[in-house]
A and B are shown apart, each in its own frame.
Chain A
Amino acid sequence: MKVKQSYEEFTKRRAQVIAIAMTAPPLMTVWLKENPLPFPIFSDPELKAYRAFGLQKTSLLKLLNPLVIGRYVKQIFEGGKIRRILPGEDPLQLGGDFLVTQAKTLIASWTSSDPTRQPELFTILSLLDQLTKPE
């Protein structure tokens, strides 16, 4: 996750990051010991938050699309790693990224039916710069 490596860019802009995963708390605790994060992460094992934010599942057919597999391979070569699917997690559940104001208003969102698609960090940071720019 590039956000983890670039977290300082968020704090410099007086912004925060919150991660949400479908991992149940006991497994989350174990996972965090191996993969500590500089920002909070919360569990949504019943996927209620995922659904409330409009995040759906992909299909096995879409997941096994050669283009998707190619992007996974590319991301692995670029230093990404596939996190193993923990018990209770759904490998077909799609993620997403939502940028919100302090007032909880949505500024931008990035969702895709392709699990390898992620927003460019530059785009997110540019939006934050516009939010915090003095008038």
Chain B
Amino acid sequence: MSLRVGDTIPDVTLLDPSGREIKLFEQIHQPTLIVFLRHLM
């Protein structure tokens, strides 16, 4: 799936560090940079 500018991003399910499921949309309250980590930091 390829997202385009103007699209609504998918509301994916993630896990917090304790293992609890959270939804991405619940975390977004402001303009947000979502960084999917590569292995170089």
Interface positions of A (Cβ within 8 A of B): 1, 3, 10, 13-22, 24-26, 28-29, 32, 35, 40-45, 48-55, 72, 75, 80-83, 85, 89, 91, 94-109, 115-116, 118, 124, 128, 131-132
Contact B18 A25, beta carbon cutoff 8 Å: yes
Task: Identify which of residues 3-22 in chain B touch chain A, using a CB-to-CB cut-off of 8 Å.
Answer: 3-19, 22
* A–B complex contacts, Cβ < 8 Å, 13 sampled: A1-B41, A13-B31, A16-B28, A19-B37, A26-B19, A44-B14, A53-B10, A83-B41, A89-B39, A91-B39, A104-B8, A105-B7, A108-B5
CB distance from A57 to the nearest CB of B (A): 12
Q: By the criterion CB–CB under 8 Å, are B35 and A18 in contact? A: yes
Q: Are A42 and B35 in contact (CB under 8 A)?
A: no
Contact mask B18-32 → A, CB, 8 Å, 1/0?
110010110111111
CA distance A118 to B24 in the complex (A): 22
Give the chain A neighbours of B3 by CB distance below 8 A: 53-54, 98, 106, 109
Give A11 to B31 CA distance when docked, in angstroms: 10
A100→B5 CA distance, assembly (Å): 9
B residues whose Cβ falls under 8 Å from a Cβ of A: 1-19, 22, 24-25, 27-41
**CB <8 Å contact, A15 and B31:** yes
> Hey, which chain A residues are within 8 Å of B24, CB to CB?
18, 42, 49
Q: Are A49 and B12 in contact (CB under 8 A)?
A: yes
Residues of A with C-beta under 8 A to B6: 105-106
Give the distance to chain B from A107, nearest Cβ to Cβ, in Å.
7
